[in-house]
Amino acid sequence: MNIISIINYKGGVGKTTVSANLAGELAWRGKKVLLIDTDAQASLTFSFVKPDEWDSNYKDSKTIKSWFDAISLGKEPEQLKEYIITPNAVNEQLKKSNAGGRIDLICSHLGLINVDLELATLLGGVNMTQSKSNYIKVHGKLRDAIAKLATTTDYDIVLIDCPPNFNIVTKNAIVASEQILIPAKPDYLSTLGIDYLQRSTKELVKEFNEYVNEEGRIDPKILGVIFTMIQVNAGQPIAAQRQYIQQTKRLGVNTLKNYLRENKTIFSDAPQMLIPVALNAYSHPSHSNIVDEIEGIVDEFESLLEAL
Ligand SMILES: Nc1ncnc2c1ncn2[C@@H]1O[C@H](COP(=O)(O)OP(=O)(O)OP(=O)(O)O)[C@@H](O)[C@H]1O
Ligand SMILES: [Mg+2]
């Protein structure tokens, strides 16, 4: 089971779109995918589940917030698998591929924003030993829970859609991950953000490994940067974007050769259809280009994972 966080500090760069479409294409190819939405905006959740369905069936007890709430209250939460749902529309569509793939989801909750403050109150302690132990408890919970999931479920891959920040919930996602995928727009601020993300991830890993015992050490690797919202001209990104792609490469981080082009019509409509673009019918003239691109991204993504 691969565990991958999809993260960038920068908001609106395509993290959720990449998460949904990677999941869609991987499941179409037969993979069993678990998506975890750790963003209080719940965009990934509402890309697969209707708001009224969420409201009546999941809001009160089947979201990642309920799981974190138990921790904040000092209780042992139920196993993560109790919080998993199987969204209907996308899985109906996936049946058409006959490859046996599936997308499951742990929903988010708009109230997740408050969880961070509550988790923060559990940090610290009367002495160094207790502080270290509390630090590991607060930041390592999701990792422990996903590890348990691996022994009781059949997922091939877990994708964690992160919020555009570096709070305790996001840190839980990084600590739980073996790999990190960074969607980015090729522009000045995104390039700065990638550098900062690399450094803060390194710091988090260093701190966690200092506090944890030897067998508990973590080593999440940056799988790469995937560029999104590319404006294509004559078969390649426009010059202004190429410049920032080059600049990102100079940061020494792997960049995926395949990218996702900008198409507002297709990408802004998809979430309300509850099926990612990768799985939609070829109903729009420019749609097949995009689906080809997503297939290229997933080919590259799978070979990066195989090469590990
Ligand atoms: N390739 C694309 N072309 C055009 N629009 C896109 C593309 N990818 C994403 N979008 C749109 O851009 C907006 C932001 O995308 P998305 O929600 O995936 O980003 P995000 O990084 O997850 O944002 P946040 O930081 O708020 O979680 C959405 O309205 C989405 O529909
Ligand atoms: Mg998002």
Domain boundaries, the chain: 2-306
Q: Which residues of 190-205 are buried (b: 16+ CB within 10 A; e: fewer)?
A: bbebbeebbeebeebb
- The ligand minimizing its distance to the Cα of 15 is 1
- Residue appearing with tokens 């599936």: 102
Atom of ligand 1 nearest to the CA of 267: 31
pLDDT tens readout for residues 122-154: 999 999 999 999 999 999 999 999 999 999 999
Compute the radius of gyration of the chain from its Cα atoms. 19
Q: How far is the CA of 44 from the centre of ligand 2 (A)?
A: 7
Give me 294's structure tokens: 């997503």
Please, which residues have CB within 8 angstroms of residue 288's CB and are 6 or more apart in sequence? 282
DSSP state of 252: T
For atom 25 of ligand 1, which residue has the closest CA? Answer: 11
Q: How far, in Å, is the centroid of ligand 2 from the Cα of 40?
A: 9
Ligand 1 atom at shortest distance from the alpha carbon of 19? 18
**Using an 8 Å Cβ cutoff, are 292 and 300 in contact?**
no
The token pair at 296 is 């290229």
Dist CA 296 CA 308 (whole Å): 19
Distance of CA 47 to CAs 88, 196, 205, 227, Å?
A: 12, 29, 31, 21
Residue 115 CB less than 6 A away from ligand 1: no
Q: Is 260 in the pocket of ligand 1 (CB under 6 A)?
A: yes
Q: Is the CB of 277 under 6 A from ligand 1?
A: no
Closest CA to 32 of 153, 182, 132, 113: 153
As its CATH architecture, domain 2-306 has 3-Layer(aba) Sandwich (3.40)
Provide the residue-wise pLDDT of the chain in tens; the chain has 308 residues.
999 999 998 999 999 999 999 999 999 999 999 999 999 999 999 999 999 999 999 999 999 999 999 999 989 999 999 999 999 999 999 999 999 999 999 999 999 999 999 999 999 999 999 999 999 999 999 999 999 999 999 999 999 999 999 999 999 999 999 999 999 999 998 888 899 999 999 999 999 999 999 999 999 999 999 999 999 999 999 999 999 999 999 999 999 999 999 999 889 888 889 999 999 865 666 678 899 999 999 999 999 999 98
Residue nearest atom 3 in ligand 1 by C-alpha distance: 262
Q: How far, in Å, is the centroid of ligand 2 from the Cα of 17? A: 7
Q: How far is CA 239 from the centre of its chain?
A: 29
How many CA atoms lie within 13 Å of 29's alpha carbon, on the beta-carbon side?
18
Give the nearest ligand 1 atom to 229 CA.
Answer: 1
